[in-house]
């Protein structure tokens, strides 16, 4: 089977386990995990076995449903209390992608709305809400693909960073959605994927899923992107995002901001693909976005049989960076293509 035939995130047939592809093993090994406990789910999110803002939100929705299913009581107040504990626990796994807390809040709202009703009824409504979150993700990514496709033309060279593909969502991806839709319509894009150190989501995941779909894909080291731009090989940059502030500043995988600076210098449009669920009105600017710091070992010894740097050397390993709104040509959401001044457009979306 093709990697794209597998669900990134799903429940098993008895709605008793979260089923994911272990993305830390890709592309060399396809391992499907069945996660039953909250710790297994927390660990899977933290270790990036399941990853990508939308996919993390979908996983959290199903994950906290599984927690609720296991709360054996008819006392609604106790049920809600235990639900909140489970939700707060999953929410502690990763701080930057707003989809995690956004999905958990949607699930918590179901529990609050169910006060006065039965626990059994609340559990059924939680399952329905988790499924709705996933279906909305699929519909949103497809719409982003349609709108993103209107910004490029057949034969264009498109650069992307990290993995904002199907493996970061339920289907299509965000940044890859225009690529997949265009491919089906014969656009013959030339896609360039930054390997994306230190966890290599671009080399391991994006190039894997796009090449599996038959697209023309080239992997490059992150530091090579500006040279490609200078050679005139890139007509657009598409990336995903993990959180967009109210002024349009966008947090995405570390290494995105330098791409935006280089694109600005070479006059290349730089597009952020953002489901509206990734826009966080409580973050006024990018300075308000918490950037996840990850273990030093990801930099010093993740991919080599021996260390690549001296023991005890200091390491800087922020998982994300923030691209200032002024560097972003447009933010492609399912509700429309937003252009500067983003604050007004974003307010209009949420009015």
Q: Note the residues at the interface with ligand LNRAV4D5 (CB under 6 A).
A: 48, 51-54, 162, 164, 168-169, 174, 201, 239-242, 252-253, 319
Closer residue to ligand LNRAV4D5 in complex, CB, 31/121: 31
**Nearest distance, CB of residue 346 and ligand LNRAV4D5, angstroms:** 18
Residue 53 annotated as lining a ligand binding site: yes
Q: Which of 264, 231, 257 is nearest to 242 (CA)?
A: 257
Closer residue to ligand LNRAV4D5 in complex, CB, 207/239: 239
**Nearest distance, CB of residue 249 and ligand LNRAV4D5, angstroms:** 14
Q: Are 254 and 242 in contact (CB under 8 A)?
A: no
Q: Which of 156, 194, 222, 242 is catalytic?
A: 242
Radius of gyration of the chain (CA): 20
Residue 286 annotated as lining a ligand binding site: no
Residue 201 annotated as lining a ligand binding site: yes
Closer residue to ligand LNRAV4D5 in complex, CB, 83/276: 276
Closer residue to ligand LNRAV4D5 in complex, CB, 51/106: 51
Cα–Cα distance between 234 and 197 in angstroms, integer? 21
**Nearest distance, CB of residue 221 and ligand LNRAV4D5, angstroms:** 18
Closer residue to ligand LNRAV4D5 in complex, CB, 129/242: 242
Q: Which of 168, 171, 142, 209 is nearest to 54 (CA)?
A: 168
The H or E element that residue 108 is part of is helix 98-113
Whether 139 sits among the annotated catalytic residues: the reply is no
Cα–Cα distance between 60 and 42 in angstroms, integer? 9
**Nearest distance, CB of residue 201 and ligand LNRAV4D5, angstroms:** 5
SS3 of 323, please?
strand
**Nearest distance, CB of residue 292 and ligand LNRAV4D5, angstroms:** 8
Distances (CA, A) of 51 to 97, 166, 185, 298: 10, 11, 29, 16
Residue 287 annotated as lining a ligand binding site: no
Cα–Cα distance between 86 and 111 in angstroms, integer? 13
The H or E element that residue 148 is part of is helix 119-149
SS3 of 254, please?
coil
Residue 94 annotated as lining a ligand binding site: yes
**Active-site residues: which are they?**
242
Annotated binding site for substrate: 51-53, 94, 201, 252-253
């Amino acid at each position: 089977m093709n990697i794209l035939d597998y669900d990134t995130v799903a429940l098993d047939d008895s709605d008793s386990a979260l089923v994911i592809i272990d993305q830390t093993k890709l592309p060399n090994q396809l391992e499907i995990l069945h996660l039953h406990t909250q710790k297994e789910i927390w660990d899977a999110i933290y270790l990036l076995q399941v990853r990508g803002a939308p996919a993390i939100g979908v996983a959290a929705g199903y994950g906290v449903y599984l927690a609720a299913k296991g709360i054996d009581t008819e006392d609604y107040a106790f049920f809600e209390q235990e639900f909140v504990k489970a939700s707060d626990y999953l929410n502690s796994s990763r701080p930057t992608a707003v989809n995690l807390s956004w999905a958990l809040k949607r699930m918590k709202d179901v529990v609050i709305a169910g006060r006065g009703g039965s626990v059994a009824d609340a559990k059924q409504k939680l399952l329905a809400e988790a499924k709705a979150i996933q279906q909305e993700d699929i519909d949103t990514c497809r719409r982003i693909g349609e709108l993103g496709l209107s910004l490029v033309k057949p034969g264009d060279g498109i650069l992307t960073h990290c993995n904002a593909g199907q493996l970061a969502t339920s289907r299509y991806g965000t940044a890859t959605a225009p690529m997949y839709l265009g491919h089906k319509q014969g656009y013959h894009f030339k896609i360039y994927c930054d390997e994306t150190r230190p966890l290599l989501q671009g080399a391991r995941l994006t190039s894997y899923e796009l090449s599996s779909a038959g697209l023309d894909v080239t992997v490059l080291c992150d530091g090579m992107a500006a040279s490609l731009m200078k050679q005139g090989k890139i007509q657009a940059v598409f990336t995903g995002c993990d959180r967009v502030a109210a002024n349009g500043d966008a947090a995405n995988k570390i290494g995105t901001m330098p791409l935006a600076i280089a694109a600005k210098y070479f006059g290349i449009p730089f597009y952020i693909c953002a489901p509206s669920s990734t826009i966080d009105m409580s973050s006024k600017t990018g300075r308000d976005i918490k950037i996840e710091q990850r273990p030093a070992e990801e930099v010093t010894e993740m991919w080599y049989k021996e260390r690549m740097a001296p023991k005890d050397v200091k390491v800087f390993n922020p998982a994300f960076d923030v691209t200032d709104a002024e560097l972003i040509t447009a933010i492609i959401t399912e509700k429309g293509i937003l252009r500067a001044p983003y604050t007004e457009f974003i307010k209009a979306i949420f009015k």
